[in-house]
Amino acid sequence: MTAYDTNNIFAKILRGELPAYKVYEDDHTYAFLDIMPRSPGHTLVIPKAPARNIFDIKPDDLAHVARTAHKIAAAAKKAFNADGMTIAQYSEQAGGQVVFHLHMHVMPRTLGVALLPAASVKAEPKLLEDHATRMIAALAS
């Protein structure tokens, strides 16, 4: 298996070298909006521990990611009045992984509305700021 690359985009976000629309952070995880969302409120949850994907993450670190994804899903359902939620984790190129730092996608869903294709439309900053504000408020309530 290929080694973890400490210069992947999510590692740079964790180090503060690149900006992100953060909605949540704790000692083990970091959650931020996908800048090319497939649905309103599409959030990525990543471990702070370096892990390329499901094959090399420590079970305790994966458990922290799952707990945070659970919290983010509940907040996203409230913030976006979602009818449901799609949660996805892709591992390795053949599995659809593009950024090689483990992450879970949390995508609020509305009945009858399809997800946008992956990496198809970069959202405007104002929209992402609004979505982050809504998520942060829902997490606080």
Residues catalogued as catalytic: 103
Structure tokens at 132: 């982050």
Q: Using CA atoms, how far apart are residues 113 and 52, in angstroms rounded to an integer?
A: 32
Name the nearest CA neighbour of 107 among 123, 126, 87.
87
Structure tokens at 75: 């907040």
Which 3-state string (H, E, C) describes 2-68?
CCCCCCCHHHHHHCCCCCCCEEEECCCEEEEECCCCCCCCCEEEEECCCCCCCCCCCHHHHHHHHHH
Q: Can you state the percent helix, strand and coil of the chain, rounding each to 5?
A: 35, 20, 50
